Structure 1
Amino acid sequence: MNIRLFSYFIKLIIKSRMEYRGAFMIGAVGQILGYAANYLVIWLLLQNFDTINGWNWTEIAFLYSLNILTYAIGASFTYSPMVGLDQTIINGDFDKYLTKPLSPFTYYLASLFNIGYIAHIVISVFVLLWSISQVDMGWTAVKIIYLFLAVISGSFLQAAALVVIGSLSFTFLRVQYLFSILFKIKEFIAYPISIYGTLLQLILTWIIPLAMINYYPSLYLFDESILTNKLLGIVALVIGPLAFYLSYKLWMRGANKYQGAGG
């Protein structure tokens, strides 16, 4: 499936959702209020402690917003397809994605694109821009380009995590509990991972590299003069696309072995 056809699918989905604008707006407002409450909790926490391991409110707001923004972009394409894949396989509905002269992966993602994440994008971009205006990062053209690339890489990494779990549906069928575990683990990157022990930092950096989504890009932007920040910041730009490619290969491997609802 080429980009033009992929975009056409998404356009059709957006049109169908806009047929029920009232329900869509209510859902969007609800999500915005929900994440606003999360920001409020962090803000209240910082009122008592001023900083968390040297990170103040605006810096943590930037960190948290980068996480939400990249999740919203990545999940728009992958959350609904991957969370629903096990049931799609069990019901035998996955067969239709294999009978078209299209890539089953992109066809499946395009057909279940979720426009509802626009609410996440709105609030995260708003707070991200506010925090950028409050934090003295010494913005340069390089840093602006870096932030743009970090958002892209982080979105790929967020999507990759969902695709990896979704791909396990071809083998184990029931994998819903793994998504719950993923979201619990993701709560760790709502704050600087430097507040955790060395072992957990290593896990979040190299084994389940969720810290590459927002923590290391933030360190690079706040102070790239430190060599470690610079090196890990660069790694963060590469690991997202690489992780997504590997997750795609894993998903396709499962799809190629798929033999129907009974096997």
Structure 2
Amino acid sequence: MNLIKMYKHFVVIYMKGKLAYHFALVFELIANTIQIGVYFAGFMVIFHNFESIAGWSEYEVLFMFTTSWLAYSFSCFFFWSPMKDMGELIRSGKFDLYLTRPISPLMYMVLSQFQYTFIPRLVLSIVFWAYSMNKLSIDWNPCNIAFYSINMLSAFVIFSAITIFTGTISFWTVKSEEIVSLLTNNNHGLKNYTDYPITIYSKGVQFILIAIIPYAFTGYYPVASLLGKELTFPIFAFLSPIIALIAAVGAYLFWHYGLRHYGSAGS
């Protein structure tokens, strides 16, 4: 409860600072809204020319990737900016300041910022998620609701763990912005591969999305099961919570390992 109050306090301070340049903030939100809107427009163009992709209809694919986007957007509110900026914090020596705080450095980094630029992505994702769900005949019985909710939470944990892992690499490379973008940026990174059924990709790409960077468990497998799609390995539809637990523990251990081996690069 204290962390929630602290986070709200930090968000208010952070946004007051941003509102000092309110025109820049507004234009940034508008630019992000246009960018995400163009992405959805491109999606509609694809399905204007193709009735289905790998046996998935327009609304099924839309429901799948907005499910993934919702979890991704919530994760980015907390972890995208801190992990993206890790390299710069270490290079400048500013990360040393986080080590003097009475709470853990990662917690302080999360609390002291608010990635408001993901608000347009979240809002549009909710709109198209609701729109696609209204077009599908999903039996939302208590079992399916629980299954979907658990997998949404698991997707949030998976995205967060991968983002933390990529940011932690900065303890050794000092500069990891490109790695963070490569793996987690939804516009041109590996994350972009989760927007469509993974069966459209080569076996190599599928292996990466399943066994190495487990994005397939953030949307494809849970939603495929919910929609009654035939899967080569049906058990995969129920592995998201286990993958999330493994990813979370791995990211936690890797972060603390990097923290123990941190040497200031600042002056």
TM-score when normalising by structure 1: 0.90
Shift of 1:228: 4.0
How big is each residue's C-alpha offset from its partner over 1:199-221, in whole Å with a ceiling of 9 and x where there is no partner? 32222111211111111121121
Shift of 1:131: 0.5
Report the equivalent of 2:150.
149
Aligned match of 1:164: 165
- Equivalent residue in structure 1 for 2:197, among 179, 192, 195: 192
Q: Check conservation: 1:6, 1:106, Cα contact below 8 A.
A: no
Residues 6, 107 of structure 1: 8 Å contact kept: no
Secondary structure, in 3 states, of the residue corresponding to 1:101?
A: coil
* RMSD, aligned α-carbons: 2.3
1:33 and 1:99 map into 2 onto residues whose CA distance is 40
Q: Larger helix proportion, structure 1 or 2?
A: 1
Query: Could you tell me how far apart the structure 2 residues matched to 1:90 and 1:145 are?
Result: 44
Q: How far does residue 2 in structure 1 lie from its aligned partner after superposition?
A: 4.0
Question: Percent same amino acid at aligned positions?
Answer: 26
* 1:205 counterpart = 2:178: no
Q: Counterparts in 2 of 1:1-263, with a 5 A limit?
A: 2-18=3-19, 20-182=21-183, 183=185, 184-223=189-228, 228-229=233-234, 231-261=235-265
Q: Post-superposition, which runs of at least 4 consecutive aligned residues in structure 1 deviate over 6 A?
A: 224-227
Q: Which amino acid aligns with 1:197?
A: S
> For the structure 1 residues 221 and 89, does the alpha-carbon distance in structure 2 shift closer, same or farther, using more than 3 Å as the test?
same
What number of residue pairs does the alignment pair up? 262
Say which SS state the counterpart of residue 100 (structure 1) adopts. Answer: coil
Is the contact between residue 39 and residue 61 of structure 1 (CA under 8 Å) also seen in structure 2?
A: no
Q: Shift of the alpha carbon at 1:87?
A: 0.8
Summarize deviations over 1:102-142 as a string: whole Å, max 9, x none.
Answer: 11110112113312211111000110011111011222122
Question: TM-score, normalising length from structure 2?
Answer: 0.89
Any unmatched runs of 5+ in structure 1?
none
Structure 1 residue 257 displacement after superposition: 1.8
Unaligned runs of 5+ in 2: none
1-structure distance, mates of 2:30, 2:59: 24
Contact 1:51 1:57 in 2 (8 A): yes
